[in-house]
Amino acid sequence: MKRRIEAFTEGSFDLCIIGGGITGAGAALDAATRGWRVALIERGDFASGTSSASSKLIHGGLRYLEYGHLRLVHEALIERGRLLRNAPHLVQPLPFVLPFYQGQRVAPWKWRLGLTLYDLLAGRENIARSRRLSIRRVQSVAPPIRSHDLRGGALFYDALMDDARLCLAVLRTASRHGAIVANYVEAVGFEKHQGTIIGVWAEDRLTGQRILIRCRAVLNAAGPGVDAVCRLAGEVGEPRLQPTKGVHLIAPARGHRAACLLLHPRDGRVFFVIPWYGKTLIGTTDTFAEPGPAVLQVLPDEVAYLLEGYNAYFEETLRSDEVMGTFAGLRPLIRARPGEPSSLSREFCIHEAAGGLVTALGGKYTTFRAIAEAIVDRLAAILGESGHCRTVGLRLVGAPKAPWAEFLAEKTAAIAKGFPVDTDSAAHLVRRYGEEVDAVLAKMCDVPDGFARVHPEEPDLIGEQRWQRDEEMAIQPADFFLRRSRIGMWRRDVLSEPEA
């Protein structure tokens, strides 16, 4: 995947997509695999907003059953199964412990009923059936959990992902099918003929070059920024989104053998404790986002809220000075009736403006493929195009043909034997790059100290940056260390110029 700005001016495109998060990436892949000529631009780096600041879960949304969103949950569970097959190196099963405590907002019988329904809605795509856990079993899987008022629990499965790399894999797969994509290119205006959009004026933020991307249709997939793009196109009226803010903490490993779904003692909201990249991920908050430059700043009271929740359940308390990193993201939720942020719709819809701009509103990471199918189906109807979605069984770049567990074990052993890396770093390379790991290793061999660690306590290797620069369009230090790799999220000292 190369950054070729001049390619945007070579003829006309069927579709120009504004936004390089997961929604835009999914639409680019769907349209490109139908044979469309696709352009995609992103004003920052790919997945630099919401799509790299999620809870790292591919899940059906067990908690959405409480609001009666059965269709949403069913669709998400089906899509979860597809992602486990199509990107096994980036999406993998994750066991969850759900402890039951006396006096909690949701009674154990309601949780058990919900889990039974969750299993049924998943159907053949179910990872494994949920089951009851004794008090002792809960304590063995999630140590050291508070025992006072503990009444047992349940075990169920969802899936864990690397969100930024999943988005990148979708974009790179789209690129292989002919899509022209570029980061750091901003939409600054629209070319119109008789009131209808016929092109997008864009500016390369690295060089200042302005270009016109001529196209038959434009998709606004800017996530929380869709309203700003709508205004740029001349639309007026109330905002269509009410973004909410989600904050997460990253702490050292705490001995969790499974993720935990918990209810916050202050307000009864669901939050998660997730083992991720050898660390502990805790989140999330759900508050209305105040517009402004500091909207993604993590505030002390938000950190305190998550620590309060964690420490209410685990005997080994976590202090604020032990937190290794924090991050915040905005959920692009559709504006709905007044109420609590958590009750806002996680649904998705398509808005069509008189001038021809098509805007994607809302959505959920897990269902990005289905959302993209719906978007491109609608665009096909507008453009008079035929053809059907081809992404249901499409494997993303890096997905091995062999069963994942077998591939991981064999490739890790071969790398540890054939290259100057330990087993941890070898496994890390396989998990990050999947079937492309051999090509990555070949580039690393040409980098001085390429097999040395970026940080002595992390498995990331210096030579990876050559691949990330040449094949994954990483440009700025944050691209390398916050999205192509994630080490900068908890080792802030590495956020300097890459060495390769």
Q: What is the 3-class SS of 320-350, one letter each residue?
A: HHHCCEEEEEEECCECCCCCCHHHCECCEEE
Domain residue limits at 447: 404-494
Looking at the structure, tell me whether residues 237 and 249 fall in a common domain: no
469-482 pLDDT, tens per residue? Answer: 999 999 999 999 99
What's the confidence (pLDDT) of residue 218? 98
- Partnered with residue 261 across adjacent β-strands are 272
Q: How many domains does the chain have?
A: 3
Q: What is the mean pLDDT of residues 304-331?
A: 96
**Cβ–Cβ under 8 Å, residues 98 and 109:** no
302 in the same domain as 445: no
Q: Is residue 86 part of a domain?
A: no
In 109-225, which ranges are E strands?
A: 131-133, 150-161, 180-183, 185-193, 196-204, 210-220
CA–CA gap between residue 135 and residue 167 (Å, rounded): 39
Residue 181 is part of a domain; what is its CATH number?
A: 3.50.50.60
3-state secondary structure of 68: coil
**Nearest of 242, 197, 188, 243 to residue 218 by alpha carbon:** 197
The mean per-residue pLDDT over the stretch 93-102 comes to 97
Based on the fold, state whether residues 105 and 141 are members of the same structural domain.
yes
Which segment of 309-318, 338-347, 472-481 scores lowest on mean pLDDT?
A: 338-347
| Beta-carbon contacts of residue 30 (< 8 Å; ≥ 6 apart) | 369, 372, 373, 375, 376, 389, 390, 391
Which residues fall within 8 angstroms of residue 397, CB to CB, at 6 or more apart? 169, 172, 173, 176, 434, 436
pLDDT at site 341? 52
184 and 37 inside one domain: yes
Q: Quick one: 362 and 223 in the same domain?
A: yes
389 in a structural domain: no
* 72 falls within a domain: no
Say if strands 196-204 and 210-220 run parallel, antiparallel, or are unpaired: antiparallel
Cis amide bond preceding 144, omega within 30 = yes
Split at pLDDT 50, 70, 90, the class of 141 is confident
Q: 283 in helix, strand or coil? A: strand
What pLDDT is attached to residue 274? 97
The whole-number average pLDDT for the span 240-255 is: 94
CATH of the domain at 120: 3.30.9.10
Instruction: Check residue 453 and report its DSSP letter.
Output: B
Contact 8, 210 (CB under 8 A): no
pLDDT given at position 106: 92
pLDDT at 262 over 90: yes
How open is the CA angle 375-381-382, to the nearest 5 degrees? Answer: 90
Q: Are residues 139 and 275 in the same domain?
A: yes
For the beta carbon of residue 107, count every other beta carbon within 10 angstroms: 12
Cβ atoms of 469 and 485 closer than 8 Å: no
Q: What pLDDT is stored for residue 346 in this prediction?
A: 56
- β-strand 196-204 against 185-193: which pairing, if any? antiparallel
Domain membership of residue 85 (yes or no) is: no
pLDDT band at 343 (very low <50, low <70, confident <90, very high): very low
Identify whether residues 366 and 232 lie together within a single domain.
yes
pLDDT mean over 396-414: 97
Backbone angles phi, psi at 84, to 5 degrees: -60, -30
Last-in-domain residue among 300, 330, 360: 330
**Do 355 and 319 belong to one domain?**
no
Task: Give residue 59's pLDDT.
Answer: 97
248, 226: one domain: no
Mean pLDDT of the chain: 94
Q: Are residues 372 and 411 in the same domain?
A: no
> Is the pLDDT confidence value at 337 over 70?
no
Same domain, 35 and 182: yes
- Specify the DSSP element, H or E, that contains 109: helix 108-122
Asked if residue 17 is part of any domain, the answer here is yes
How confident is residue 499, by pLDDT bands cut at 50, 70 and 90? low
181: in domain: yes
pLDDT at 340 over 60: no
* pLDDT at 497 exceeding the cut of 90: no
